[in-house]
Chains A and B, each alone.
Chain A
Amino acid sequence: MGLEQKLGDMGIVTTSLEKAVGWARTRSMWPLLFGLACCAIEMMSTQASRYDLSRFGMELMRASPRQSDLMIVAGRVSRKMAPVLRNLYDQMPDPKWVIAMGDCASCGGVFNNYAIVQGVDEIVPVDVYVAGCPPRPETLIDGIIKLHEKVRAEPLKKWA
């Protein structure tokens, strides 16, 4: 009757709740639409025609931190921008992750000077560092896949 007949004999898949939730989280990750500098242009390329981030279910970038769960810090963070960035991170609902895209966001890059925060991990906890100045879109996608692996392996307890 009903559903079983329509679906046929699909068998049963058993999994743990943790794995199911982790899988679901990677498949509906909404990045924050937040560009800072040069890396933001490569982030745009990643979304656009050739590299097409929507293959990973992530083309929907939200401009509001309230609706997003991944912050890609794309570019150099100046001392004036740092409090704003932290404010945005605080506004994002749990669970949330951060990718430091590019050398400037990871460690200050070529700008070892008075104006630039030497690595965004001084302000927010970073999950994945993506190297490059700026990283190629493939590199960013690789970083995102690494993050997905990490998210799938996360225990439920972490965000409970």
Chain B
Amino acid sequence: MLTQTEAPTLGENTVRVEDVQLDITLDQLKKLVSPRALTGETMLMNMGPQHPSTHGVLRLLLELDGETIVNCIPDIGYLHTGIEKTAEGKTYLKAIPLTDRTDYLAPMSNNLAFCGTVEKLVGIEVPLRAQYLRVILMELTRMNSHLVWLGTHALDIGAMSVFLYCMREREMILDIYEAVSGARMMSSYIRPGGLWRDVPNVFFDLVQRVLDVFPRRLLEYEKLLTHNPMWKERTVGIGKISAQDAIAWGMTGPCLRGSGVNYDVRKAYPYSSYDHFEFSVPVGSNGDVYDRYLCRMEEFNQSLKIIRQALKNLPAGPVMTDDRKVAPPPKHEIAYSMESLIHHFKLWTEGFKAPEGEVYFAVESGKGEYGVLLSGDGTSKPRRVHFRAPSFHNLQPLNELARGHMLADIVAIIGSIDIVLGDVDR
């Protein structure tokens, strides 16, 4: 708790630091809020961590002048899980399930970011079929992430039915996850060197169903929202950020593209053979909530386009590298090959070793650039793992975005930057 050292200067409306309940001193609080807050001229209000529209456990300290936001200070860490530290104690293979749980709306993107980093560090070639399947799964994951964003964003602003529609479509994608990996959400399907196993036959039917059904449903959402005057009233011109500011704050993904910056990791640093596919990157111009919304809606279409191409040109072949030092041998080989048995034993007890060195590898997840910095020390466990979480960086300019808007707009702004607190706090 706080200790108040200075006496308040004005009457009974004066802010006492105890009311704010932050673990900071009065001097620190003075740096965060305007001088008017300390005299009671503006009001300090707490929002969260248990608030349905903060998308998890984000806490905000709002300074309000009437209903106008003067300052909006996020307080994060309510979901700090110590994932980076825990990953240091696990072998490279065993750390994958932890990455699922950072940004839990896009587990496969996190898997790929981590496995791609390990592949870069160890120097593993991934078979083309695995790369194409990864691309299909990446785009499905992007749609999964965007569907939850659209549903909750619309729900926050007051459009209840969109949420129910989005969750209905999301189940189609979760069915695909379940078919390939056995789990609805935490898939851990992508492994260093390829995929856990080849996709089952039902996978193609399920993906085809998404391709058939989804464009129709997308039109439904657009009909509900895009030209809806109430929706536009709540989103156009709200939470504006210029291109320079967005870059300076380190925003990525649709938040950055909404401001008119054409930066997409898939185009700038193609990975997993994204350069084989033809797609465009939707870019906004105003950098407000509505433009970020339009960018994400168009990304649905582009994702479908990529999936169609990848499905059409999907090559045959293995889905796992044949380098036995990192990939487990097939089960039937263990029965007669001594070498395979040893590899199997070594991989599941000790894990493969990565050389010393530091690498960074990033993927474009639904929320932005999801990067992993990995420092190997020659053993089978990493020395240090760092996740460059897009939500964390997209959250940073919240004060700039919210300042001057109404209290009700903060909900729209948080929805539009699409944060996941598991990703912010890790």
State whether the Cβ of A34 lies closer than 8 Å to any Cβ in chain B.
Answer: yes
Q: How far is the CB of B183 from chain A (nearest CB, A)?
A: 8
- A36-B56, A45-B171, A110-B98 known; A81 and B78 CB under 8 Å? yes
Complex Cα gap A36–B170 (Å) = 20
Measured CB to CB, the closest approach of chain A to B155, in angstroms, equals: 10
Stretch at the interface among A12-20, A111-119, A141-149, A151-159: A111-119
The distance from the CB of A38 to the nearest CB of chain B, in whole angstroms, is 4
Q: Are A49's CB and B164's CB within 8 A?
A: yes
B425 → chain A, closest Cβ, in Å?
Answer: 8
Q: Say how far A137's CB is from chain B's closest CB, in angstroms.
A: 9
Closest to A63 in B: B52
Determine the distance from Cα of A37 to Cα of B80 in the docked complex, in whole angstroms: 10
Whether B185 is near chain A, meaning CB under 8 Å from some CB there, is yes
Determine if B167 and A37 form an interchain contact, defined as CB atoms under 8 angstroms apart.
no
Q: Are B101 and A38 in contact (CB under 8 A)?
A: yes
Q: Which of B94-127 contact A (CB under 8 A)?
A: 97-98, 101, 104-105
CB of B51 within 8 Å of the partner chain: yes
Determine the residue in chain B with the shortest Cβ distance to A85: B50
Interface string of A95-131 (1 = CB under 8 A from B): 0000000000000001111111000000000000000
Q: With A35-B56, A36-B56, A113-B85 known to touch, is A134 a contact of B78 (CB < 8 Å)?
A: no
Interface contact B168-A48, CB-CB below 8 Å:
yes
Q: Which of B52, B57, B101 contacts A81 (CB 8 A)?
A: B57
When the two chains form the complex, which single residue of A41, A48, A136 contacts B105, counting CB atoms closer than 8 Å? A41
Interface size class on chain B is 35 or more
Closest 3 interchain pairs by CB? A48-B167, A115-B82, A38-B104
| Interchain CB contact (< 8 A) of B77 among A35, A38, A78 | A78
**Contacting pair A84 B78 (CB below 8 A):** yes
Q: Which of B78, B85, B164 contacts A80 (CB 8 A)?
A: B78
B82–A116 touching, CB < 8 Å: yes
Complex Cα spacing A84 to B57, Å: 10
Which residues of A28-66 have CB atoms within 8 Å of chain B's CB atoms? 33-38, 40-42, 44-45, 48-50, 63, 65
Contact A114 B85 (CB under 8 A): yes
Given that A37-B104, A49-B171 are contacting pairs, would A134 and B185 also be in contact in the complex, using a CB cutoff of 8 Å? yes
A44 CA / B164 CA spacing, docked (Å): 10
| B154 CB, nearest partner CB in chain A, Å | 13
Is residue A21 contacting chain B, with contact meaning CB distance below 8 A?
no
Of A42, A49, A65, most buried by chain B (CB within 10 Å of CB) is A49
Per-residue A-contact encoding for B181-217, CB less than 8 Å = 1, 0 else: 0001110000000000000000000000000000000
Given A35-B56, A78-B79, A110 and B184 contact (CB-CB distance below 8 Å)? no
A residues adjacent to B (C-beta < 8 A): 33-38, 40-42, 44-45, 48-50, 63, 65, 75-76, 78, 80-81, 84, 88, 110-116, 133-134, 136
Expressed in whole angstroms, the Cα–Cα distance for A80 and B82 within the complex equals 12
Q: Which residues of A contact B105 (CB under 8 A)?
A: 41
Q: Are A36 and B57 in contact (CB under 8 A)?
A: yes
Chain B residue at minimal CB-CB distance from A79:
B80
Contact of A48 among B49, B101, B164 (CB under 8 A): B164
Q: Told that A44-B148, A48-B163 touch, could you supply 13 new A-B pairs with CB distance under 8 A?
A: A36-B56, A38-B186, A41-B104, A41-B105, A41-B185, A44-B167, A45-B174, A111-B83, A113-B82, A113-B85, A114-B85, A115-B80, A134-B185
Give the chain A neighbours of B57 by CB distance below 8 A.
36, 81, 84
Chain A residues with Cβ under 8 A from B421's Cβ?
37
Alpha-carbon separation in the docked complex, A35 to B78 (Å): 12
What separation, in Å, do the CA atoms of A63 and B78 have in the docked complex? 18
14 pairs from A and B in contact (CB 8 Å cutoff)? A33-B52, A37-B56, A38-B104, A48-B163, A49-B165, A49-B168, A63-B51, A78-B78, A78-B79, A78-B80, A81-B78, A81-B79, A110-B97, A115-B82
Given contacts A63-B51, A88-B50, contact A133 B77 (CB under 8 A): no
Would you call B81 an interface residue if the criterion is a C-beta within 8 Å of the partner chain's C-beta atoms?
yes
In the bound complex, how far is the Cα of B90 from the Cα of A113, in angstroms? 13
Cβ contacts under 8 Å, A112 to chain B: 86
Question: Within 8 Å CB of B101, what residues of A?
Answer: 37-38, 110
Nearest CB on B from A81, distance (A) = 5
Considering only CB atoms, which chain A residue lies closest to B101 in the complex?
A38
- Name the distance in Å between B172's Cβ and chain A's nearest Cβ: 10
B110, chain A: closest CB distance, angstroms: 12
Cβ contacts B66-88/A at 8 Å (1 or 0 each)? 00000000000111111101100
Assess whether B167 is in contact with A49, with CB atoms less than 8 Å apart.
yes
Shortest C-beta distance, B387 to chain A (Å), equals 15
Proximity bits, B131-157, A CB within 8 Å = 1, else 0:
000000000000000001000000000
